[in-house]
Chains A and B, each alone.
Chain A
Amino acid sequence: MSVQTQVANRSGLQQRRGRRWLNNESLTALLFVLPSLIGFTVFYAVPAIRGLWISFTNWDLLRPARFIGIENYIKLAQDREMWNALVVTVYYVLLNIPLQTLLAMVIAVMMYRLTQSMLIRALIILPWLMPPVVVGLIWLWLLDPNIGIVNLALKAMGLPMIAFLGLPQYAMPSIAMINIWQYVGYTALLIFAGLQSIPGSVYEAASIDGASETQTFWKVTVPLLRPVLVFVIVTSVIGSFQIFDTIAITTKGGPVNATKVLNWYIYEQAFSRFNMGYATAISIVLFLILILVSMVQMRIMRAGESDM
Chain B
Amino acid sequence: MTTSARVQAAYRPKKAFPWGKTFAWIGMALLLFVTLFPFWWMLRTALTAPRAVFLETSSLLPVQVTLINFERVLGLVDPQTAIAMGGSGQAINFTRAIVNSVIVSILVVAGQTTFSAMAAYAFARLRFPFRDGLFAIYIAALMVPGIVTTIPNFILVRQLGWLNTYAGIVAPTFLMTPFAIFFLRQFFLGVNREVEEAARIDGASIWGAFVRVVVPMTIPALTTLAIVTLIGTWNNYLWPLIVGSDESVRVLTVALGIFRTQTPQGSPDWTGLMAGTTLAIIPTFVIFMLLGRKILDSIQFTGFK
- Residue B86 is within 8 A (CB to CB) of chain A in the complex: no
Q: Determine whether the beta carbon of A47 is less than 8 Å from that of B115.
A: no
Is A199 at the interface (CB under 8 A from chain B)?
no
In the bound complex, do residue B38 and residue A139 qualify as a contact, i.e. CB atoms below 8 Å apart?
A: yes
Docked Cα-Cα span, A290 to B145, in Å, equals 8
Q: Flag the segment in B72-80, B88-96, B216-224, B232-240 that touches A.
A: B232-240
Question: Bound state CA distance, A61 and B152, in angstroms?
Answer: 12
B32 touches A131 (CB 8 A): no
**In the complex the two chains form, is B141's CB within 8 Å of A131's CB?**
no
Q: A262 to B131: give the CA distance in the assembly, Å.
A: 36
Q: How long is the Cα–Cα vector from A24 to B293 in the complex, in angstroms?
A: 41
Contact B128 A141, beta carbon cutoff 8 Å: no
B28→A39 contact, CB < 8 A: no
Take A47-B149, A54-B151, A114-B25 as given contacts and tell me if A30 and B128 are in contact as well, using a CB distance cutoff of 8 Å.
yes
The size class of the interface chain A forms with chain B is 35 or more
Known contacts A131-B281, A193-B299, A291-B143; A39/B176 CB under 8 A: yes
A263 to B238, CA, bound (A): 10
Q: Is B2 an interface residue (CB 8 A)?
A: no
- Among the stretches A88-96, A166-174, A204-212, A276-284, the one at the interface with B is A276-284
Stretch at the interface among A8-16, A78-86, A115-123, A298-306: A115-123
In the complex, which of the residues A36, A149, A284 has the most CB atoms of chain B within 10 Å of its own CB atom?
Answer: A36
Min C-beta distance of A33 to chain B, whole Å: 5
Question: Are B256 and A33 in contact, CB atoms less than 8 angstroms apart?
Answer: no
Query: Is A127 engaged at the interface, CB distance under 8 Å to the other chain?
Result: yes
B187-213 CB mask vs A (1 if < 8 Å, else 0) is 000000000000000000111001000
B120: nearest residue on chain A (CB-CB)? A36
Query: Could you tell me the distance in whole angstroms from the C-beta of A49 to the nearest C-beta in chain B?
Result: 9
B299 near A131 with CB under 8 A, answer: no
What 1/0 mask marks residues of chain B from 95 to 125 whose CB sits below 8 Å from any chain A CB?
A: 0000000000000000000011011011100
Query: Shortest beta-carbon distance, B77 to chain A, in Å?
Result: 21
By a CB distance below 8 angstroms, the chain B residues around A263 are 147
Chain A neighbourhood of B281, CB < 8 A: 130-131, 134
B84 CB–A CB distance under 8 Å = no
Nearest neighbor of A137 in chain B, beta-carbon distance: B277
**B residues less than 8 Å from A220 (CB atoms):** none
Q: Does A133 contact B (CB under 8 A)?
A: yes
Is B166 an interface position by the 8 A CB rule? no
Residues of B within 8 A of A22 (CB): 127
Contact A124 B296 (CB under 8 A): no
Residues of chain A with a CB closer than 8 A to B143's CB: 290-291, 294
Q: In the bound complex, do residue B256 and residue A133 qualify as a contact, i.e. CB atoms below 8 Å apart? A: yes
Nearest residue (CB) in B for A131 is B235
Give A residues with C-beta under 8 Å from B.
22, 25-26, 28-30, 32-33, 35-40, 42-48, 50-51, 54, 61, 106-107, 110-111, 113-115, 118, 120-127, 129-134, 137-142, 144, 146-147, 149, 152-153, 156, 181, 185-186, 189-190, 192-193, 196, 231-232, 235, 238, 241-242, 244-245, 248-249, 263, 266-267, 270-271, 276, 279-280, 283-284, 286-287, 290-291, 294
The 5 closest A-B pairs by CB, nearest first: A39-B175, A47-B152, A36-B119, A131-B235, A29-B128
Q: Which residues of B contact A (CB under 8 A)?
A: 21, 24-25, 27-28, 31-32, 34-36, 38-39, 41-42, 45, 53-54, 57-58, 115-116, 118-119, 121-123, 126-129, 131, 134, 137-138, 141, 143-156, 158, 171-172, 174-176, 178, 181, 205-207, 210, 231, 234-238, 241-242, 252-253, 256-257, 260, 267-268, 270, 273-274, 277, 280-281, 284, 288, 292-293, 295-296, 299-301, 303, 305
